[in-house]
Chain A
Amino acid sequence: MNPHDSTLLGWVIPLVAGMMVVALFLAFFRLIRGPSLPDRVVALDLTALIVVASIALYEIWTNEPVLLDAAIVLALVAFLGTVAFARYLERGATR
């Protein structure tokens, strides 16, 4: 099935993609604003989740299920990055 032929998905996917863009900007605002390093790490984690959702959306839009592997790998890398940051902070970083 092709989403471009569907009248429903034809407007739902661009709408949700717009929501992802707004969400990405809001997460970037928190990433820049801070105020502490853990705040930025949380914002980065949220950014990764938004990108995973965007990849899933793009996959429906282009009818290309192979991209799901990229989403899985990105989720894995984001988790490892967050855990690494948490351990780095806990081992006494100077913020």
Chain B
Amino acid sequence: MTEIFTAIFLLAGGALILLAAVGIVRMPDLYTRMQPATKAATLGVGSILMGVAVFFGDLSVTTRALAAAAFVVLTAPVAAHMIARAGYFVGVPLWPGSVANELRGRYDPVTHECLSHAAGEPPEEKGGHA
């Protein structure tokens, strides 16, 4: 029984990580490439670490595997957000097929502060969406 669960977790994790690697090659720009590289890869690593936790079934190993999975799940979004923000300031271009860029004009180029309305436009009405 343990073996079957371990095999399922390992196969799911391996497939997700492979998918992430295919996505990072095939996606058209930095911002879309981050999707597979953070979400799919995080879930894949978490799944493989769950496989380790199930396979050993020992309290100390399971605790460490869960801690490692929790660490990856907590830090991957932070790292991805920081890299995306840095890329946006450096001026990495969006894919020409992108339909929306809600950040356009909202970042102060000097202080790197994010404004709630675009420069040169009036603030949005209160009670509206956003």
Contact = CB atoms under 8 A, between A and B. Distances in A.
Interface of A: 1, 3, 6, 8-9, 12-13, 15-16, 19-20, 22-24, 26-27, 29-30, 36-39, 41-43, 45-46, 49-50, 52-53, 56-57, 59-60, 65, 68-69, 71-72, 75-76, 79, 82-83, 85-87, 89-90, 93, 95
Contacts of B22: 26
- The 6 A-B residue pairs with the shortest CB-CB distance in the complex, in nearest-first order: A23-B21, A86-B82, A16-B14, A38-B87, A26-B21, A89-B86
A19 B87 CA distance: 29
A83 B78 contact: yes
B13 A16 contact: yes
A24 B24 CA distance: 11
Given A50-B21, A83-B82, A90-B82, 16 more contacts: A24-B21, A27-B24, A37-B90, A38-B86, A45-B37, A49-B42, A49-B76, A53-B44, A57-B10, A60-B6, A65-B58, A65-B64, A79-B79, A86-B83, A90-B112, A93-B90
28 contacts: A1-B2, A12-B6, A16-B48, A19-B18, A26-B22, A36-B87, A38-B87, A39-B30, A42-B30, A42-B80, A43-B24, A45-B38, A46-B20, A49-B17, A49-B44, A52-B45, A53-B44, A53-B49, A65-B64, A71-B49, A75-B68, A79-B75, A82-B83, A83-B79, A85-B83, A86-B82, A90-B89, A95-B90
B17 A38 contact: no
Contacts of B14: 15-16, 19-20, 53
A16 to B, nearest CB: 4
Given A83-B82, A85-B83, A56 B48 contact: yes
A83 B71 CA distance: 15
